[in-house]
Amino acid sequence: EDSRGRWYVCLVVDSIKTEKTSAKTSIGIDLGLKDLATCSDGIKLKAPKIYRQYEQKLGIAQRARNKKRVKAIHAKIKNIRQNMLHQFSHKLVNEHAAIFVGNVNAKALAQTKLAKSVLDASWTTLRTMLKYKCENAGAWYEEVNEAYTTQTCSCCGSRCSSPKGRTGLGIREWQCMECGTLHNRDINSALNILALGHERLAVGIPVL
């Protein structure tokens, strides 16, 4: 039974084990609020504002104490998010043999003024989908420490000229003073996450 009182039947069946994916490439993913996910190949998934779109209707239903309507709105928000994330994660898993994602702390940010944006981003849901879909497809999934991935030049490794702290959040592009490379903030972070993932594989995690 779901939140709206609808019943579903779940059937368990035996299935043939999925063969290892034929994909050869790997990808790094930086999770964010402006763009929900930025991939190291430049592909981006725009962060939806689903909760904000339905916030007024939800408030009206809550003030009217219409519990059935409140549940229906929450269910609709969830379904829209799930559909978008399923499509995106399915595409990534089909096209890559290894996926590396930054371990951004969604729970901590959900306690700040960014809470609504974090809820709409659904980072934890996306990571969960990527993990089980990779397992089913025989692809590799790994979460890596994203510390300094935004601030480090993905070309030369320098950290001396990058955006730092909260004030740096508004900086979408920056140029490395060491090697001169012009970076898109999020793509640079995704490239560093990809490099960290490769390092993890190189030091003992079984190679694909």
Residue 71's nearest CA partner among 145, 162, 3, 159 is 3
Q: What is the pLDDT of residue 92?
A: 96
- Residue 38 to residue 187: CA distance in whole angstroms: 6
Rounded CA gap, 50 and 58, in Å?
12
**Whole-angstrom Cα distance, residue 146 to residue 30?**
8
**pLDDT score of 6:** 72
Amino acid type, 92: L
Domain boundaries, the chain: 26-202
β strands within the chain, DSSP E: 26-31, 35-39, 44-46, 98-102, 140-144, 173-175, 182-184
8-to-2, 68, 70, 86, 203 alpha-carbon distances in Å: 8, 18, 21, 20, 46
Q: What is the pLDDT of residues 100-145, one digit of tens each?
A: 999 887 665 555 555 555 554 588 889 999 999 999 999 999 999 9
From the candidate CATH numbers 2.60.40, 3.30.70, 3.30.420, 1.10.390, the one assigned to the domain spanning 26-202: 3.30.420
- Report the distance separating Cα 194 and Cα 99, nearest Å: 8
Instruction: Tally the C-alpha atoms within 13 A of residue 40's C-alpha that lie toward its C-beta.
Output: 24
Backbone phi, then psi, for 57, in 5-degree steps?
-65, -40
Q: What is the mean pLDDT of each run of 10 residues along the chain (208 residues)?
A: 72 70 88 90 84 76 82 82 92 95 72 54 87 94 91 87 60 86 92 91 54
How far apart CA 78 and CA 72 sit, in angstroms, is 10
